[in-house]
Chain A
Amino acid sequence: MTEHLEPGSIQSAGASPAVAEELLGVIQGVEGVSAVYPAQPLWQSIAGAAMAAVTGEILPLVSVTGDGDALAVKARIGVGTLRPAPSVAREVAGAVRTHLLPRDAAVEVYVVKVGP
């Protein structure tokens, strides 16, 4: 199982969970995005998910790391069939970047599902 997870990228060191929540809305608002998946892969967060089920806590889907001025955002999305996935990915990155202005951001978008 190959996974691309930088150690220690587990959510918000310095970035507020609210930002992650905002970005989730921004990404979901991009036409063609059918789903947003946890930035942290499922098999690593299984224990976390079970805990969340007990505590009612919701894990942020979009990962936001870094300090106030330079943020790193990572999102994993699903794209439907109507619009080309590459364009949708670019629009997602653009929308995130625009939303975070004037802060600088490096946006990483994975399309992990394409189609119905």
Chain B
Amino acid sequence: MGKAENVTGSPAAQHQLDLVPDALLAGRAADGDTAAFEALARRHGPLMRATARRLTGSQADADDVVQETLVQAWKQLDNLRDPAAVKGWLLRIVGSRSIDHLRRRRNHAGLDAVENQVEHDAKPQAADPEHSAVITSRVEALKAALAKLPEEQRRCWVLKEFNDQSYEEIALTLNISQASVRGRLARARITLARMMEEWR
């Protein structure tokens, strides 16, 4: 359908759903309106994908996570109490699906193989002189620094900085205490800030 619209020249109507507010779309989606659900998916998909990318460390996994998230969201739309909060709700599902995804891969593939793949995917390998030449911007440097963080810290940081989740929400997603969230987030920031100062 999405492709058809280009051919048939009625992108206007399709894209008009993009102007309908979240709350209305979520309500309609809960009623079984798939077009409304797809409009939500398109609207929040990029942030979901970007978040999953940083949480899982790989683009292929990120797309799997987005797809799983949308499957789960569709099945559980009835549980969404506040339709206006659908964005945060989707992102919380992205968070828990990302964690599950990694855990499941570990269980199946054996820790070493996955660790290697994830690291390979996520790290521009700043230590390697050939690669460090690639790090031309502070953003690239942050990517590298982030990839070096202990996983739990990185998760807390991504959920906070990318998704603006509260300590309570992060705690629920990661199944740890709020005190742990506060501590890990602080350690993540301290490490990152120090690495970034060094990079300068």
Interface residues in chain A, defined as those with a beta carbon under 8 Å from any beta carbon in chain B: 1, 42-43, 46-47, 49-51, 53-55, 115-116
Do residues B67 and A46 form an inter-chain contact, with CB atoms below 8 A? yes
A58 to chain B, nearest CB (A): 14
Within the assembled complex, what's the spacing in Å between the Cα atoms of A49 and B65? 11
Within the assembled complex, what's the spacing in Å between the Cα atoms of A66 and B1? 38
Do residues A53 and B3 form an inter-chain contact, with CB atoms below 8 A? no
Within the assembled complex, what's the spacing in Å between the Cα atoms of A115 and B68? 25
A5 to chain B, nearest CB (A): 16
Please name all residues of chain A whose beta carbon is closer than 8 Å to the beta carbon of B60 when the two chains form the complex.
53
Pick the interface stretch among B38-46, B81-89, B106-114, B131-139: B106-114
Please name all residues of chain A whose beta carbon is closer than 8 Å to the beta carbon of B64 when the two chains form the complex.
46, 49-50, 53
Q: Which residues B55-77 have CB closer than 8 A to chain A?
A: 60-61, 64, 67-68, 71, 75
Please name all residues of chain B whose beta carbon is closer than 8 Å to the beta carbon of A50 when the two chains form the complex.
61, 64, 101, 104-105
Q: For chain B, which range describes its interface: under 10, 10 to 19, 20 to 34, or 35 or more residues? A: 10 to 19
Please name all residues of chain B whose beta carbon is closer than 8 Å to the beta carbon of A51 when the two chains form the complex.
105, 108-109
A108 to chain B, nearest CB (A): 24
Please name all residues of chain A whose beta carbon is closer than 8 Å to the beta carbon of B1 when the two chains form the complex.
116
Do residues A54 and B68 form an inter-chain contact, with CB atoms below 8 A? no
Return the contact of A116 from the options B3, B68, B104, B114 (Cβ within 8 A): B3
- Known interface pairs A46-B64, A47-B104. Does A54 touch B113 (Cβ–Cβ under 8 Å)? yes
Please name all residues of chain A whose beta carbon is closer than 8 Å to the beta carbon of B3 when the two chains form the complex.
116
